[in-house]
Amino acid sequence: ILEKPKTTGLLAPLRMGTFECIKCAHCTGIIKGDSIAHPTKGTPIKIRGHFTCNCSNVIYLIKCPCGLPYVGQTSRCIKIRLNEHKSNIKNYNPEKEKLKNEDAAKFITELSVAKHFYHAKHTAAQVRWTILEQIKMPRGGNINQQLLRRETFWINKIDSLSPRGLNECFGLRCFL
């Protein structure tokens, strides 16, 4: 009986999950594997795609050292968004938070991760992350609206709304 040779190199099927690009600063924080454990139930959640920190139009998960999840979305390259999260963590100042009431909803959402990391005494180097999904739209589709819809889906699936997670809120306007 002849065995089918195993395919290697460029012809090998891509593994599912989030993987290192070329060892950038964000690669050390990747949650590796083709699935993640649900933060409260422990059940596996399959990652359906092959991702790196060079991907854009993604829904992503950040986990803090104490295990609380945060689900976010970005149309930009994920490493740019991770830079923003890490910068917010490094520069978080509770006094500045009081000054930003004019755009409260955006501000609260923007800094919920940084606020938690500050109060829990975590550092930006402790950010762990993975991509949950990459959105592919037909030409002419509204990518931002679809990202918001899928972010809402994942916030519910992961159960990442406060107090079980770091998401403070999510919008329903994207469904109208």
Alpha-carbon span 14 to 140, nearest angstrom: 28
pLDDT tens digit sequence for 97-123: 655 555 554 545 568 999 999 999 999
**Taking the model in full, what pTM does it have?**
0.84
N- to C-terminal Cα distance for the chain? Answer: 59
Query: Looking at the predicted structure, is the pLDDT value of residue 168 above 80?
Result: yes
Which residue is associated with the tokens 């012809």? 11
